[in-house]
Amino acid sequence: MKPAEQKIDRTTVALLAAALLLVPSAYVNRQLFDDLESPLSENAFLIRKVHAPAAYDMVLGGNSRMMQGMSPVVMNEKLPGRPILNLGMRGASLTPRMYGLIESKLAPGATTPVVLLGIEPGTLQPSTDASLVVELHRSGEKVFLAQHDVTERIARLFASIRPFKVTNKISLWLNGPTKGQPEYHREYHPDGWSATYWEPEDLERDLKPYRAKAGECCDPGEREPLPFKPLLFEQVRKWASEGILVFGVRIPTAPEVRQYEDQRFDFDEAAISQAFEQAGGIWIAVDPEGYHCYDGGHLHKSSAMAFSRNVADAVRTELERRSGN
């Protein structure tokens, strides 16, 4: 008599069962764990921006505050017909890697190429540029899948589920939407903007550490140095000499965050804006009043749109001044 396991071909049965379960699993994955409101998956969003072609008149560089704070599509309301890309990346600094990437996205034939940099303590201190490095080293296969709408849609069905999404979902089921975990909304747009906000917000919780540390820091002589400052001015000088119009802006944050960063780091906005302009750049001074950050450090979707309009206005004014209109 044959042993029991030889009566059925276990490999075929397992593979068939997995194939059959794949479709309902993908459907459940999409319904439960995907950000349905987002035009792109996070994966495709990051790959598309990092592997975008050299086809833009204006490129925005910086970290997550830039990524979440400025919408190129909204900027186009004030700057029509000008292709704009937001290259802001989570945890990124203004490193030679970031500068090189920005340069590589500018269209060779652009009449007035423009670069807009998000400048703040976070972008002027060393970082691993981890997410940028990861995206730069994606395999050709992953880049291909992310860059085409059809393959992106299919790949999105099979997106990996992060554990925190599962715990959030369970908490939502158990406690309901009001008492459950707050939900983090993220929209990944093809222009490189990620619109984000918490629902409900808990600004008190997010600002607590900043308030607690506000008194700790620091005498001017003890502030943490920002080693990438000289590199910034050197790069602005280089770009300006090549005919690239370079704007700098400090993206608004909550007053507590701003105060904490000013005290802790060697970041004197007046001195930096002055040095920036001396290097050939144009500093866009922003009044942070009136903008809302959902977690203290990142602009809420609606504020990001308003901020994008205002910055685009300032850029347009400068472009018009230069062209003599």
Partner 1 sequence: MLFNSLTFLVFAGLFFLLWPLCRRKSNLRWFYLTAASFLFYGWWDWRFLFLIVGSGLLDYAASLGMVAYPRARGAFMALSLFGNIGSLAIFKYSGFIAENLDQLFSMAGLHTSLQANIPGFMLILPVGISFYTFQSMSYTLDVYRGELKPTRNILHFMAYLSLFPQLVAGPIVRARDFLPQLCSPGTTDERGRWEGMQLIAHGFFKKMVIADNLGPVVDSAFGFPVFSESTVYWWFIITAFAFQIYCDFSGYSDIARGLAKWMGYRFEVNFNHPYNATSLSGFWSRWHISLSTWFRDYVYIPLGGSRVSRMRSHVNMWITMLVSGLWHGASWTFVVWGALHAGFMSLERVIKWPQWCRRIPRVGSWMATGIVIVQVWVAWVFFRADSLSQAVRIVRQMFDFNLDMSFRKAGLLTAAIYLAIGMLREVYCRFREVRELRSRPWLDIPVMVGMILACIFLRGPGEAFIYFQF
* Shortest Å distance, C-beta 251 to partner 1: 21
* Shortest Å distance, C-beta 42 to partner 1: 10
* Nearer to partner 1 (CB atom), residue 23 or residue 271: 23
What one-letter code names the amino acid at 82? R
What one-letter code names the amino acid at 52? A
Other C-beta atoms lying within 10 Å of the C-beta of residue 141: 9
Other C-beta atoms lying within 10 Å of the C-beta of residue 317: 12
* Nearer to partner 1 (CB atom), residue 154 or residue 271: 154
* Nearer to partner 1 (CB atom), residue 247 or residue 260: 260
* Nearer to partner 1 (CB atom), residue 28 or residue 54: 28
* Shortest Å distance, C-beta 226 to partner 1: 12
Q: At residue 243, what are phi and psi to the nearest 5 degrees?
A: 85, 10
* Shortest Å distance, C-beta 222 to partner 1: 17
Binding site for partner 1 (CB under 8 A): 4-6, 8-11, 13-15, 17-18, 21-22, 25, 29, 125-128, 130, 134, 137-139, 141-142, 145, 158, 160-164
* Nearer to partner 1 (CB atom), residue 5 or residue 287: 5
Nearest Cα neighbor of 193 from 99, 312, 30 is 312
Say what the alpha-carbon torsion angle 213, 214, 215, 217 is, to the nearest 10 degrees.
80
* Nearer to partner 1 (CB atom), residue 31 or residue 139: 139
- Non-local (6+) Cβ contacts of 295 within 8 A are 198, 201, 203, 206
Nearest Cα neighbor of 114 from 60, 71, 192 is 60
Distance CA 204, CA 82 (A): 40
B/e letters for 6-41, b = 16+ CB within 10 Å, e = fewer, are: eeeeeeeeeeeeeeeeeeeeeeebeeebbbeebebb
* Shortest Å distance, C-beta 225 to partner 1: 12
The SS3 assignment for 172 reads helix
- Non-local (6+) Cβ contacts of 135 within 8 A are 46, 47, 49, 50, 51, 89
* Shortest Å distance, C-beta 274 to partner 1: 28
* Shortest Å distance, C-beta 165 to partner 1: 11
* Nearer to partner 1 (CB atom), residue 8 or residue 270: 8
Q: At residue 170, what are phi and psi to the nearest 5 degrees?
A: -65, -45
* Shortest Å distance, C-beta 150 to partner 1: 14
Distance CA 141, CA 51 (A): 13
* Nearer to partner 1 (CB atom), residue 160 or residue 325: 160
